[in-house]
Chain A
């Protein structure tokens, strides 16, 4: 048994326990130092992921391969960006407690287990570890009514989704007799009527698993919680929700659909197509009427998950590669956008209305430029990274012959462009109102880093794409 395969997770979990003890024993304010230690733990885990060897361990429960490494690095960077952003915000909001980074850390451990799951059991354990930490995070501003409501709502609906997922897992186990991904793949590949692949029980199980995962990535019609939770949760938590858990859940979905249930592509493809189209449409149209920028970003993320699912619907390594590239670009532009949103603060109080951005270009040209870059990128206008994300997805869709998805995709991206450029309109064309407070340096750092990535991705797309290619190839074996 090669326990070294899970070294990053083990080290990260141990660090988490250590930081927890440290935080409890230290008498006075320890949020800053705990956050720094958490960042250090993320860094160590990242290095371990980079140097880790591929293989399957723990009796087939746990796999370490290029796919898991790719996603782990991505979600670690998303979590690290969030941790940096949370520092100043939490202090100003009066929720600066050392449990915040530790909860994030344990959620990340859960996510890393999810991306490495090679068995439906591991999948569930990882997902629950992640979810429990996230429920607490959503309600972290416990004196705030909206935050508590967000936490409760997320908990109830998330519990339901977990139940559905577990039900699906039990159906698959009952009809196929195994929970191991590779054994399932071998079983489902068997031809003939007697094979478990032909059994309706397995298909129903797959559908339930799909529903559970679709909830986690907030794809339509399981998206209801997203706008409320995004709006209600403290903004650093929203950033976290929008980045790392999305990556982990999407990675899990890709692996489950490609490895064990890959042979059933014909059965679940149409389902993904419907979910994808519905997400793209809702993401495009429901966001138009929003006035709160966090809600708008919630609908935007629903739409983006719809685009990413196009790649999964294709079901080919090219499609999966497209999804992975999409997730990388999505994480950075979303983190950047939220960093800009966190800079929206007047007299110490955060403001969230889109109209508060009015005339930002003359008050703070740098921030306006960065937010404009992110908006153009989210809209998929060329030279920004968001265009490449969509390009790879649509390439895969066209290759797979899914023309409906491609046509719906490009048309909804035009509708989406309307509300993204409306924000630019408000920043650049409208008269300026009161300026925002001085933004903390950590925030400027995140905005600059993600902004440069978004604006100049076009110069060097090859490293990301090549890595995604290798990662995508790994889950089809």
Chain B
């Protein structure tokens, strides 16, 4: 229970699972089951969306701490409880998950025709796990959601994916699992030291610097795979290419954010000394990711793979921002994560639109689509620009803030990180030109249909969000202002304490 006396967060978390049980109980012939499963999943996710909008309205941005806190005793002998709560950093990620899920269900309305019931069930389970992970205020609970996400995602890639889906699903599963089991050990070590796994308590616990180093490396193993950072990013292009459209959207939109969220929630506040110590290392990896994967993206022949590599580059910007430890940098990282969630999700949907029609993702297979699909061309252009970071779109604000933050740390960092924007413009515009412009050379493209009303319904909210984030960003940043300020202050205080202690001992 929380101060309102109503477990809103638990409801948002577990309601999709209830919807899943309803889907499971549907009986009848295949077409009825499929249709019922689709509608049940859509309505469940829409109700969850409405509830999360209530959360958004009721959330008090002026407060830096956790709100809507619920706490139920679970494993009392270990001081582990089922504790949920959101602060300014997590609340928007909850919303991102609940916004993208109904859109994904809508987007797979026609493209998923086999085992519809299982697909919708997996998606609702996935939503429960994602939301639960962002709400968890107990490390064990967080870990359970964090890892349980693998189960539905593994099935989504493996059952409804492309030709190499089995390889991709296995790789995704094992990469992520390896990282997270190491985090489990770090978690146990923290529990041993602090005597609890309550995240709020752990954030104020001071771990000895030597221990922090090890903990940081263990967390890095987990979050770096999830983000993904160079050089452990190789699972991502495979998973993206093979996953069905909706799977790619959630993968890019939410699952990658779990790594960034992990850094912000655990590594930086709980391990300030190690974070500062490893910051140059993180910058190096991020800069390599930005430049290297951008160049790789330029050479791609597959649309989804190109966008997948661009995701790695954009997430590189995010990690640069986070490890600047100043307000602009962290603001930028958070904003970049949100905007990337919307924009890259939309880009995967855009690829999905033509893939549903032509069943190919090969760039050379297309050309001149703008003649036949003007509406599509417009939407594609908008999100291309947002991905490039054109002012007025969501992509600009995040990248700009990160570069401002990076300048305060190091000129070269800002310069090399900023190079990502230029390369990003290169590969995105190149992609757009090859797909949309030129002359139509293939017959089947002459009769290709423009966006259907259902597809417009999928894109409309994303277009609104992208422009809203770009034109009036402070309606989003206001949520985490207080939380980020508190985090930055906490970080600086912690570093100052360590330096003072070091001064005493020497």
Complex interface bits, B172-213 against A, C-beta within 8 A gives 1, otherwise 0:
011001100110110011011000000000000000000000
Interface residues in B95-149 (C-beta closer than 8 Å to A): 115, 118, 140, 143-145, 147-148
**Is B151 within 8 A of A394, CB to CB?**
no
Contacts of A403 in B (CB 8 A): 185
Q: Which of B77, B151, B159, B178 contacts A465 (CB 8 A)?
A: B77
Contacts of B173 in A (CB 8 A): 417, 421
A4 part of interface (Cβ distance < 8 Å):
no
Contacts of B192 in A (CB 8 A): 398-399
Residues on B lying within 8 angstroms of A by beta carbon are: 74-78, 115, 118, 140, 143-145, 147-148, 150-151, 154-155, 158-159, 165-166, 169-170, 173-174, 177-178, 181-182, 184-185, 188-189, 191-192
**Is A394 within 8 A of B188, CB to CB?**
yes
- With A399-B192, A465-B75 known as contacts, the answer to whether A429 contacts B169 (CB < 8 A) is yes
Tell me the smallest distance from the CB of B273 to a CB of chain A, in Å: 21
**Is A381 within 8 A of B151, CB to CB?**
yes
**Is B166 within 8 A of A406, CB to CB?**
no
A411 part of interface (Cβ distance < 8 Å):
yes
- With A382-B144, A421-B154 known as contacts, the answer to whether A398 contacts B159 (CB < 8 A) is no
Complex interface bits, A3-17 against B, C-beta within 8 A gives 1, otherwise 0:
000000000000000
Tell me the smallest distance from the CB of B210 to a CB of chain A, in Å: 14
A-B contact count (CB 8 A): 83
- Bound: A391/B147 CA distance, A: 13
Contacts of A399 in B (CB 8 A): 192
The residue on B at minimum CB distance from A418 is B174
Contacts of B140 in A (CB 8 A): 391
**Is B159 within 8 A of A428, CB to CB?**
yes
- Bound: A403/B192 CA distance, A: 13
A407 part of interface (Cβ distance < 8 Å):
yes
- Bound: A439/B106 CA distance, A: 38
Complex interface bits, A383-403 against B, C-beta within 8 A gives 1, otherwise 0:
100010001001100110001
Q: Which of B143, B166, B189, B191 contacts A382 (CB 8 A)?
A: B143
- With A414-B178, A428-B155 known as contacts, the answer to whether A398 contacts B188 (CB < 8 A) is yes
Complex interface bits, A410-429 against B, C-beta within 8 A gives 1, otherwise 0:
11011001100110110011
**Is B78 within 8 A of A395, CB to CB?**
yes
14 extra interface residue pairs, beta carbon distance < 8 Å, beyond A411-B181, A461-B74: A362-B115, A376-B151, A381-B148, A382-B144, A383-B148, A395-B78, A403-B185, A413-B181, A414-B177, A421-B173, A425-B166, A458-B144, A465-B75, A466-B77
Tell me the smallest distance from the CB of A359 to a CB of chain B, in Å: 11
Contacts of B75 in A (CB 8 A): 461-462, 465
A256 part of interface (Cβ distance < 8 Å):
no
Residues on A lying within 8 angstroms of B by beta carbon are: 361-362, 365, 376, 381-383, 387, 391, 394-395, 398-399, 403, 406-407, 410-411, 413-414, 417-418, 421-422, 424-425, 428-429, 458, 461-462, 465-466, 469
- Bound: A466/B75 CA distance, A: 10
Contacts of A383 in B (CB 8 A): 144, 148, 151
Contacts of A424 in B (CB 8 A): 154-155
Contacts of B155 in A (CB 8 A): 424, 428
- Bound: A411/B169 CA distance, A: 19
**Is B147 within 8 A of A382, CB to CB?**
yes
**Is B185 within 8 A of A407, CB to CB?**
yes
Contacts of A465 in B (CB 8 A): 75, 77
Contacts of A418 in B (CB 8 A): 170, 174
**Is B144 within 8 A of A410, CB to CB?**
no
Tell me the smallest distance from the CB of B42 to a CB of chain A, in Å: 22
- Bound: A424/B170 CA distance, A: 11
Contacts of A406 in B (CB 8 A): 185, 188
Q: Which of A361, A394, A466, A469 contacts B185 (CB 8 A)?
A: A394
- With A414-B174, A418-B170, A428-B158 known as contacts, the answer to whether A395 contacts B188 (CB < 8 A) is yes
Tell me the smallest distance from the CB of B147 to a CB of chain A, in Å: 5
- With A428-B158, A429-B165 known as contacts, the answer to whether A410 contacts B148 (CB < 8 A) is no
Contacts of B174 in A (CB 8 A): 414, 417-418
- Bound: A428/B182 CA distance, A: 28
**Can you list 12 residue pairs at the A/B interface with Cβ under 8 Å?**
A361-B115, A361-B159, A381-B177, A382-B144, A382-B145, A391-B184, A406-B185, A410-B184, A414-B178, A418-B170, A429-B169, A466-B77
Contacts of B145 in A (CB 8 A): 382
Contacts of A461 in B (CB 8 A): 74-75
Contacts of A365 in B (CB 8 A): 118
Tell me the smallest distance from the CB of B302 to a CB of chain A, in Å: 21
- With A382-B147, A458-B144 known as contacts, the answer to whether A425 contacts B188 (CB < 8 A) is no
**Is B148 within 8 A of A382, CB to CB?**
yes
**Is B166 within 8 A of A429, CB to CB?**
yes
The residue on A at minimum CB distance from B157 is A429
- Bound: A417/B147 CA distance, A: 13
Tell me the smallest distance from the CB of A328 to a CB of chain B, in Å: 15
Contacts of B154 in A (CB 8 A): 421, 424
Contacts of B151 in A (CB 8 A): 376, 381, 383
Contacts of A422 in B (CB 8 A): 170
- Bound: A395/B77 CA distance, A: 12
Tell me the smallest distance from the CB of A450 to a CB of chain B, in Å: 19
- Bound: A383/B17 CA distance, A: 13
- Bound: A144/B189 CA distance, A: 52
Q: Which of B77, B143, B147, B150 contacts A469 (CB 8 A)?
A: B77
**Is A387 within 8 A of B169, CB to CB?**
no
Tell me the smallest distance from the CB of B79 to a CB of chain A, in Å: 12
- With A398-B192, A425-B158, A465-B77 known as contacts, the answer to whether A381 contacts B150 (CB < 8 A) is yes
Tell me the smallest distance from the CB of B144 to a CB of chain A, in Å: 4
- Bound: A315/B154 CA distance, A: 38
Q: Which 9 A-B pairs have the closest CB atoms?
A: A410-B181, A382-B144, A398-B188, A429-B158, A382-B147, A383-B148, A382-B148, A414-B178, A414-B177
Contacts of A410 in B (CB 8 A): 181-182, 184-185
- Bound: A42/B75 CA distance, A: 32
The residue on A at minimum CB distance from B155 is A428
The residue on B at minimum CB distance from A397 is B188
Contacts of A469 in B (CB 8 A): 77
Q: Which of A411, A425, A466 contacts B170 (CB 8 A)?
A: A425
Tell me the smallest distance from the CB of B61 to a CB of chain A, in Å: 32
- Bound: A394/B77 CA distance, A: 16
- Bound: A413/B181 CA distance, A: 8
The residue on B at minimum CB distance from A460 is B74
- Bound: A381/B153 CA distance, A: 13
Tell me the smallest distance from the CB of A373 to a CB of chain B, in Å: 10
Tell me the smallest distance from the CB of B32 to a CB of chain A, in Å: 16
Contacts of B189 in A (CB 8 A): 398
Tell me the smallest distance from the CB of B380 to a CB of chain A, in Å: 32
- Bound: A425/B399 CA distance, A: 40
The residue on A at minimum CB distance from B182 is A410
Contacts of B76 in A (CB 8 A): 462
Q: Which of A382, A398, A413, A425 contacts B169 (CB 8 A)?
A: A425
- Bound: A384/B58 CA distance, A: 34
- Bound: A461/B174 CA distance, A: 27
Tell me the smallest distance from the CB of A239 to a CB of chain B, in Å: 26
- Bound: A410/B186 CA distance, A: 12
Q: Which of B78, B144, B178 contacts A387 (CB 8 A)?
A: B144
- Bound: A417/B77 CA distance, A: 29
The residue on A at minimum CB distance from B189 is A398
Contacts of B178 in A (CB 8 A): 411, 414
- Bound: A346/B188 CA distance, A: 47
Contacts of B169 in A (CB 8 A): 425, 429
- Bound: A82/B37 CA distance, A: 37
Tell me the smallest distance from the CB of A462 to a CB of chain B, in Å: 7
- Bound: A462/B80 CA distance, A: 12
- Bound: A466/B76 CA distance, A: 10
- Bound: A417/B192 CA distance, A: 27
- Bound: A399/B118 CA distance, A: 41
Question: In the complex, which of the residues B147, B165, B174, B177 has the most CB atoms of chain A within 10 Å of its own CB atom?
Answer: B177
Contacts of A376 in B (CB 8 A): 151
Contacts of B77 in A (CB 8 A): 465-466, 469
